Protein backbone atom coordinates (compact mmCIF):
# COMPACT_ATOMS: atom_id res chain seq x y z
CA UNK A 1 0.00 0.00 0.00
CA UNK A 2 1.35 3.44 -0.88
CA UNK A 3 1.84 6.20 1.62
CA UNK A 4 -0.21 9.36 1.48
CA UNK A 5 1.47 12.46 0.09
CA UNK A 6 2.64 15.01 2.66
CA UNK A 7 0.00 17.50 3.81
CA UNK A 8 1.94 20.51 2.53
CA UNK A 9 2.04 19.07 -1.00
CA UNK A 10 -1.67 18.26 -0.89
CA UNK A 11 -2.42 21.79 0.36
CA UNK A 12 -0.37 23.28 -2.47
CA UNK A 13 -2.10 21.11 -5.06
CA UNK A 14 -5.49 22.02 -3.64
CA UNK A 15 -4.65 25.73 -3.72
CA UNK A 16 -3.39 25.44 -7.27
CA UNK A 17 -6.62 23.80 -8.35
CA UNK A 18 -8.71 26.50 -6.65
CA UNK A 19 -6.61 29.25 -8.25
CA UNK A 20 -6.90 27.66 -11.70
CA UNK A 21 -10.68 27.39 -11.45
CA UNK A 22 -10.98 30.99 -10.29
CA UNK A 23 -8.67 32.21 -13.06
CA UNK A 24 -10.80 30.44 -15.65
CA UNK A 25 -14.02 31.98 -14.29
CA UNK A 26 -12.42 35.43 -14.25
CA UNK A 27 -11.15 34.99 -17.82
CA UNK A 28 -14.68 34.40 -19.08
CA UNK A 29 -16.08 37.29 -17.06
CA UNK A 30 -13.39 39.73 -18.22
CA UNK A 31 -13.97 38.69 -21.83
CA UNK A 32 -17.67 39.42 -21.38
CA UNK A 33 -18.50 35.82 -22.21
CA UNK A 34 -20.91 33.55 -20.45
CA UNK A 35 -19.35 30.98 -18.17
CA UNK A 36 -19.89 27.53 -19.68
CA UNK A 37 -22.22 25.26 -17.69
CA UNK A 38 -19.50 22.60 -17.46
CA UNK A 39 -17.19 25.09 -15.72
CA UNK A 40 -19.98 26.11 -13.32
CA UNK A 41 -20.54 22.44 -12.53
CA UNK A 42 -16.83 21.91 -11.94
CA UNK A 43 -16.61 24.91 -9.60
CA UNK A 44 -19.77 23.88 -7.76
CA UNK A 45 -18.43 20.36 -7.25
CA UNK A 46 -15.11 21.72 -6.00
CA UNK A 47 -16.90 23.96 -3.51
CA UNK A 48 -19.28 21.22 -2.39
CA UNK A 49 -16.46 18.71 -1.99
CA UNK A 50 -14.76 21.25 0.26
CA UNK A 51 -17.85 21.91 2.39
CA UNK A 52 -18.38 25.42 1.07
CA UNK A 53 -21.99 26.43 1.17
CA UNK A 54 -23.88 29.34 2.62
CA UNK A 55 -27.26 30.91 2.74
CA UNK A 56 -28.07 33.73 0.36
CA UNK A 57 -27.87 37.12 2.04
CA UNK A 58 -30.35 39.76 0.80
CA UNK A 59 -28.49 42.23 -1.39
CA UNK A 60 -25.67 39.74 -2.02
CA UNK A 61 -24.71 39.10 -5.63
CA UNK A 62 -26.07 35.56 -5.38
CA UNK A 63 -29.41 37.06 -4.34
CA UNK A 64 -29.52 38.69 -7.78
CA UNK A 65 -29.88 35.23 -9.33
CA UNK A 66 -33.20 34.83 -7.57
CA UNK A 67 -34.61 37.78 -9.50
CA UNK A 68 -33.40 36.33 -12.82
CA UNK A 69 -34.75 32.82 -12.44
CA UNK A 70 -38.26 32.15 -13.70
CA UNK A 71 -41.00 30.96 -11.41
CA UNK A 72 -43.41 28.38 -12.67
CA UNK A 73 -46.13 28.75 -10.05
CA UNK A 74 -48.50 30.43 -12.51
CA UNK A 75 -48.09 27.57 -14.97
CA UNK A 76 -49.42 24.84 -12.69
CA UNK A 77 -52.45 23.12 -14.19
CA UNK A 78 -54.44 20.77 -11.94
CA UNK A 79 -54.63 17.24 -13.25
CA UNK A 80 -58.14 16.02 -13.94
CA UNK A 81 -59.74 19.37 -13.29
Measured on CA atoms in the order 55, 59, 62, 64, is the torsion positive or negative?
positive
Give the pLDDT confidence score for residue 17 in this predicted structure.
93
Distance, in Å, from the CA atom of 41 to the CA atom of 16, rounded to the nearest integer, reads 18
Angle at CA of residue 29, ends 27 and 34, nearest 5°: 110
Would the pTM of this model clear 0.75, i.e. be above it? no
Give the pLDDT confidence score for residue 52 in this predicted structure.
78
> 47 pLDDT band (50/70/90 cuts)?
confident
What is the C-alpha end-to-end distance of the chain, expressed in Å? 64
Question: Which is higher by pLDDT, 81 or 7?
Answer: 7
Amino acid sequence: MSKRAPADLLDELHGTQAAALLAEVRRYKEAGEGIPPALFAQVNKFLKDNGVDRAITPGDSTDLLDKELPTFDDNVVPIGG
